[in-house]
Structure 1
Amino acid sequence: MNIGEASKASRVSAKMIRYYEQIGLIPPADRTDSGYRAYTPTDIHRLHFIRRARDLGFSVAEIGGLLGLWNDQSRHSADVKRLAEQQIAELDRRMENIRKMAETLTALISSCAGDHRPDCPILDELQQPDDGCAEPEARTGAVARRARGKAAIAVESCTCTH
């Protein structure tokens, strides 16, 4: 099947299929005489695996490790379980960071009159310099986040008490 059919069958976009091939997450597809990619049922099965792992928040690098374990018939299920437990811990950390951001935004919203005046405590807070918390941790998640202001980054990564 061609890349469009493979995309439809696997629910992975053609762009991502080409990317996964480029970075070696999937092997290069066979080519037809006219140069089009040709995918097999095995390729679709691998793309399903990758999509499901992405849906569970695993990074591309982590998926590479999972694929290695999937292909290794001498693997130990304990190794797979450990990776899943690490992913749960990472998801818990992210949820805690999101909860902290929501609490901060809730407090900022309650401090704002929301009237016709130009004074805005929310904007005032966002312009404040970093409060001295540790630098944000390196991102290990599957989805890159867009850049945000220092206040949001400080809230996301801060473990100190205010």
Structure 2
Amino acid sequence: MLIGELADKANISVDTIRYYEREGLIKPVSVRDSGYREFDESSADTLLFVVRAKDLGFSLKEICTLLRLKNDPDTTCGEVKALAEKKITDVILKIKSLQAIEKDLTALLRACTDTAASVDECPIVDSLDKKEKEI
């Protein structure tokens, strides 16, 4: 199948497939004399694996590792589990960071009581303008 068919099958853009190809995540099985790259069902399976891993928040570097592990017959499930455990830890830390941002923004919004005031008197701008973090 050509790249357009592959893109349709995976429901992603041709440009995304080209990017994944440049990053070494997917390879064509052959290249025609015309330069058109051909992919097979294995390519489609790999691409869908990449898309699902990306949807779970894995970075391209992590996906490369997952693909390497997947294709190594000596890999154990425990090795893959360790990578997923690290990812969930990263996700939990990111959630905590986002919750802290939400708290800070909420405090700034509460401080902004006079919406008709000049921007020079805006507590949000004042907070952002400070040299040190006060929140």
- Pairwise same-fold verdict (TM > 0.5): yes
Q: CA RMSD in A?
A: 1.6
Supply the distance in 1 between the matched residues of 2:132 and 2:57 (Cα, whole angstroms). Answer: 29
Q: Identify the structure with bigger relative contact order (alpha carbons < 8 Å, sequence gap 6+).
A: 1
**Which whole-Å CA distance do the structure 1 matches of 2:127 and 2:72 have between them?**
52
The alpha carbon displacement at 1:32 in A equals: 2.5
Do the aligned residues in 2 keep the contact of 1:3 with 1:38 (CA within 8 Å)? yes
2:122 is matched with which residue: 120, 123, 139?
120
The separation in 1 between residues aligned to 2:73 and 2:12, in whole angstroms, is: 26
Amino acid across the alignment from 2:59: S
For 1:77 and 1:129, locate their aligned partners in 2 and report how far apart those are by CA, in whole Å. 49
Which shows bigger deviation, 32-41 or 76-85? 32-41
Structure 1 stretch displaced more, 107-116 or 27-36? 27-36
TM-score (norm 1): 0.77
Who is 2:47 aligned against? 47
Identity of aligned residues (%): 38
Question: Partners in 2 of 1:70 and 1:43 — Cα distance?
Answer: 14
Gaps of 5+ in 2: none
Instruction: Pick the structure with greater CA Rg.
Output: 2
Count residues in correspondence: 133
Code of the aligned partner of 1:120: C
Q: Distance in 2 between matches of 1:41 and 1:70?
A: 17
- How big is the shift at 1:130? 3.8
Equivalent residue letter for 2:33? D
Instruction: Render the CA deviation track for 1:67-88: whole Å, top value 9, x for unaligned.
Output: 0111011111110000000000
Q: Which runs of 4+ in 1 moved over 4 A?
A: none
1:96-155 CA-to-partner distances (Å, cap 9, x unmatched) read 000000000000000001421112101110111243xxxxxxxxxxxxxxxxxxx9xxxx
Retained in 1: the 8 A contact 2:28–2:43?
A: no
- Stretches of structure 1 lacking an aligned partner (at least 5 in a row): 132-150, 152-161
Separation in 2 of the partners of 1:53 and 1:40? 20
